[in-house]
Amino acid sequence: MSKRDYYEILGVSKNASKDDIKKAYKKLALQFHPDRNQGNKESEEKFKEVGEAYSVLSDDNKRAKYDRFGHEGLRGGGQGGGGFDFGGGSFDFGDAESIFEQFFGGGFGGSSRSRRSNSNAQRRGNDLQISIKLTLEEISKETTKKIKINKYIKCTSCNGSGAKSISSVSKCSSCGGTGEIRTVQRSILGQFVNVSPCHACDGMGEVILEKCTLCGGDGRIRDEKNVNVTIPPGVSEGQYLTLSGEGNAGRRGGQPGDLIVIIQEKEHKYFNRDRENLYYDLQLSVSEAALGAEIEVPIIEGKVKLKVPSGTQPGKKLMLKEKGLPVLNGYGKGDLIIRISIWIPTKLSKRAKELFEQLESLDDTKPKSSEKGFFEKIKDRLFD
Ligand SMILES: [Zn+2]
Ligand SMILES: [Zn+2]
């Protein structure tokens, strides 16, 4: 399926402002609205196309993804493409119509189109929600997870219609096939026409005489499906992705719901996380801190050697630049911050005791604790 460029559809430039996009959409949506172009298939398609382009370009997040990955970036993760979100493939007429209504508040009213999409909306499948647990290693790069979900899918026997065969569908006699019931009310203010979806056919305009034996007329069956979810680098606990159309199939061909994937973070053995920065607590022996040392510390990708300078104080922070996590939807990486503490032995062997006693006899191994203001000098280092 080759798709036209969204900017081209709206006739705006790549760096158009939100306002320009809004204006362009407004103009085109009015021009191609089906109520102004009764039965014109081409303008219905145009209206849909314009609505889809607007739904993406008016949303900063979607627009950024589209700019970066094109149409591919917007497709649901089901096919294992590079997509993160918002199924570009499943945009429906009802979506364009509802964007239009949000925009103009009620649109042209009385349009049988919007009612058809309302009845379609009633049959829409439920959204499903799952959570996936990721390690910091997985969060540090783009990760694709295969998840198994048990959900309603379109019935394979009737292709979602709910009918045994084409001949077992007939026009609804209650509404004459229009899917809506009109009632006229008279009042002192004049005549009102009330339009509501037909209950006999659920607003579909047709009834099933002989139901599909596999799904019992529901148009959907339960099945287990594998979905590939591609998670952009830098996500954090509680954030979620929406895979459009990957939720439950709708009743009798109704639109499928979405699959909401909630991110959870597994606790890491070594690191604490503060957004894109990582923290690691390094304990040094008294002699390592005094003499300086080269110590192996963990990073997300493995290990590195860290040079600890001689005379390193407890509370000191050493920084490994850009060894943190990537910034979500952005550029660059956080840092790995190494917090130093000094390990003091609590049990001493005879030999160790002797050596400490020797150290103690020297003047330059002892703090001048009586010095006024010493605590003030190191306070910041200890508590920030
Ligand atoms: Zn069926
Ligand atoms: Zn009916």
Q: Domain residues of the chain, as ranges?
A: 6-265, 272-367
Maximum average pLDDT range among 26-35, 133-142, 174-183: 133-142
> Which is more confidently placed, 36 or 347?
347
Q: How far is Cα 123 from Cα 256, in angstroms, rounded to an integer?
A: 9
Q: With contact defined as beta carbons under 8 Å apart, do 321 and 335 qualify? A: yes
Distance, CA 210 to ligand 1 centroid (Å)?
11
In which band, very low, low, confident or very high, does the pLDDT at 113 lie, cut at 50, 70 and 90? very low
Residue with the bigger pLDDT between 350 and 206: it is 350
Q: Are 322 and 263 in contact (CB under 8 A)?
A: no
176 CA → ligand 2 middle, Å: 6
Residue 9 CB neighbours (<10 A)? 21
Evaluate if residue 40 carries a pLDDT over 70.
yes
Q: How far is the CA of 183 from the centre of ligand 2 (A)?
A: 14
Give the per-residue pLDDT at 296: 97
Q: How far is the CA of 189 from the centre of ligand 2 (A)?
A: 30
Kindly report the pTM of this predicted structure: 0.61
Distances (CA, A) of 254 to 116, 161, 203: 11, 9, 12
107, amino acid identity: G
User: What is the C-alpha to C-alpha distance for residues 47 and 114, in angstroms, rounded to an integer?
Assistant: 13
CA 200 to ligand 2 centroid distance, Å: 5
What separation in Å is there between the alpha carbon of 69 and the centre of ligand 1? 37
What's the CA-to-centroid distance between 128 and ligand 1, angstroms? 22
Q: pLDDT tens, 120-174?
A: 667 899 999 999 999 999 999 999 999 999 999 999 999 999 999 988 999 999 9
How much is the average pLDDT of 224-229?
A: 94
Among the bound ligands, the one closest to the CA of 163: 1
Q: What is the mean pLDDT of residues 71-79?
A: 54
> In angstroms, what is the span from residue 208 Cα to ligand 2's centroid?
11
pLDDT at residue 290 greater than cutoff 60: yes
Residue 255, Cβ density class (10 Å: 0-12 exposed, 13-18 middle, ≥19 buried): buried
Question: 116 alpha carbon to ligand 1 midpoint, in Å?
Answer: 22
Q: CA-CA distance, 174 to 177, in Å (whole number)? A: 8
In a 10 Å sphere around its CB, with 0-12 CB exposed, 13-18 middle and 19+ buried, how is residue 179 labelled?
A: buried
* 272-367 matches 6-265 in CATH topology: no
CATH class of 272-367: mainly beta
**186 against 254, higher pLDDT:** 254
Which pLDDT does position 123 carry in this prediction? 83
Distance 59 CA to ligand 2 centre (A): 38
Q: Which ligand is nearest to the CA of 152?
A: 1
- Give distance in angstroms: CA of 79 to centre of ligand 1: 24
Given a cut of 60, is residue 351 above it in pLDDT?
yes
Q: What is the C-alpha to C-alpha distance for residues 265 and 267, in angstroms, rounded to an integer? A: 6
pLDDT of residue 297: 97
- CA dihedral (44, 45, 51, 53) in degrees, to 10, reads -160
Which of 32 and 116 is assigned the larger pLDDT?
Answer: 32
Q: How far is the CA of 333 from the centre of ligand 2 (A)?
A: 59
Ligand nearest to the CA of 249: 1
- 211 CA distance to ligand 1 centroid (A)? 8
63 Cα to the center of ligand 2, angstroms: 41
Place of tokens 């020297």: 362
* Ligand in nearest proximity to the CA of 199: 2
Q: Which fold has domain 6-265?
A: Helix Hairpins (1.10.287)
Number of other residues whose CB lies within 10 A of the CB of residue 318: 17
Exposed e or buried b per residue across 158-167, where buried means at least 16 C-beta atoms within 10 angstroms of its C-beta: bebbbbbeee
The CA 104 to ligand 2 mean position distance, Å, reads 29
